[in-house]
Amino acid sequence: MSVSRELFDQVMVPNYAPSAVIPVRGQGSRVWDQQGREYVDFAGGIAVNCLGHCHPALVAALKEQGEKLWHLSNVMTNEPALRLAKKLVDATFAEKVYFANSGAEANEAALKLARRVAQDRFGAQKSQIIAFYKGFHGRTFFTVSVGGQAAYSDGFGPKPADIVHVDYNDLSALEAIISDNTCAVMMEPLQGEGGIVSPEAEFVKGVRALCDKHNALLIFDEVQTGVGRTGELYAYQGLGVTPDILTSAKALGGGFPIGAMLTTTALAEHLKVGTHGSTYGGNPLACAVAEAAFDTVNTKEVLDGVKQKAVLFRELLSAINDKYAVFSEIRGKGLLIGAVVTDAYKGKAKDFLTAAINENLMVLVAGADVIRFAPSLVIPEADIRDGMARFEKAVAAVVAANK
């Protein structure tokens, strides 16, 4: 069968508009397309491929588990799921883990748990969920409604009730709306889709204090920031604030679909047998690969390396900007980096993405005004320099086209 970009338009639901490039092979931070062209990958599958493509530890785990046991059901447990859960508990604040297939599913579980805890402890009136504008928590109807971007949730009929939004980093706005009827505040400890926006230290501490004051649970969506992306295993560990519930996905499986919700024993007790579930959650194949990814990332060498690579990334981006003056700010943490375009290029972040593809470089956007970089956590310095040389050519092309 001939496989081309045109086939997508024939057989796929048109909710995506993929590039004309169809990758067929990846190794480390390099990807090759159908025509054999080689790309440097600064996108990482949107912060998923934390160890690049076809990392030997993940390939070995997949092959080994693939010859043992693929799937059971949650009528039984399995060894890879229990090993991974134990490692997550040992490395974080959490005492209990729930496995799902994706970040959206993990967030759905977190929100349902928060609502159930509030109802059990305080009554049905304690149901309000507060989240933040420009936040992103997944595409199920519940999670997309909690996400603070109405464009993603409008047009599907009535939305789940008792969800309100305030501006990120605006503690006074949160203080004005939170009450004893608030069951949870959900936030990213660094907004990803919303433009790579870091939280102010006092803001995060203030959110925690307000949650404590009103007996509301603090949910950290670490789907994008988790598993080493910021240079900490989880971003909360660098903020001095501990959530009640944490969600993880994306990098957790290094490219294999898996999600997890982490919480305490006292809260977990409210999801009694039969209250929630996931057919593939805790799948042995997914958990075996995720365990290998977790073991590889959760080392001082890799986490320190993220911070070192981030310095180089920023230095090279700043050097490009010194030459072309296209960015007003370079923000983010670790290897989740956003370059904000100046007013002259407002709304044109995608032009830089398209120009990068033409230079055989894969990058991302975070909204219309931010170019996003989320490469492998173990990307070699040579690949960073090569990719940035390609990015400079892309920037030069955009600048020339806008003269």
Q: Which residues are annotated as catalytic?
A: 136, 221, 250
Alpha helices (H) in 68-102, listed in sequence order: 79-91
Beta-strand pair 38-41/361-362: parallel
- Assign residue 226 a region: left if phi > 0, alpha if psi is -120 to 50, beta otherwise? beta
Q: How many CA atoms lie within 13 A of 171 on its CB side?
A: 13
Residue 332 labelled as part of a binding site = no
Residue 381 labelled as part of a binding site = no
Measured CA to CA, the distance from residue 236 to residue 232 in angstroms comes to: 8
Residue 279 labelled as part of a binding site = yes
∠ Cα 134 136 139 (to 5°): 135
What are the tokens at 70? 């693929």
Measured CA to CA, the distance from residue 281 to residue 146 in angstroms comes to: 22
R_g over Cα of the chain: 21
Residue 138 labelled as part of a binding site = no
If 0-12 CB within 10 Å is exposed, 13-18 middle and 19+ buried, where does residue 207 land?
A: buried
* Neighbouring-strand partners of residue 40: 30, 361
Residue 124 labelled as part of a binding site = no
Residue 128 labelled as part of a binding site = no
Spatial contact of 269 and 120, defined as CB atoms under 8 Å apart? no
Beta-strand pair 23-27/30-33: antiparallel
Spell out a b/e string for 177-202, using b for 16 or more CB atoms within 10 Å of the CB, else e.
Answer: ebeeebbbbbbbbbbbbbbbbbbeee
Residue 221 labelled as part of a binding site = yes
What are the tokens at 357? 């593809």
Helix axes 381-401, 300-324, angle to 10 degrees: 30
Residue 83 labelled as part of a binding site = no
Residue 278 labelled as part of a binding site = yes
Residue 334 labelled as part of a binding site = no
Alpha helices (H) in 261-348, listed in sequence order: 265-268, 284-297, 300-324
Find, among 11, 84, 52, 20, the residue nearest to 292 by Cα: 84
∠ Cα 185 189 195 (to 5°): 110
Annotated binding residues: 103-104, 136, 139, 221-224, 278-279
Annotated binding residues for pyridoxal 5'-phosphate: 103-104, 136, 221-224, 279
Annotated binding residues for N(2)-acetyl-L-ornithine: 139, 278
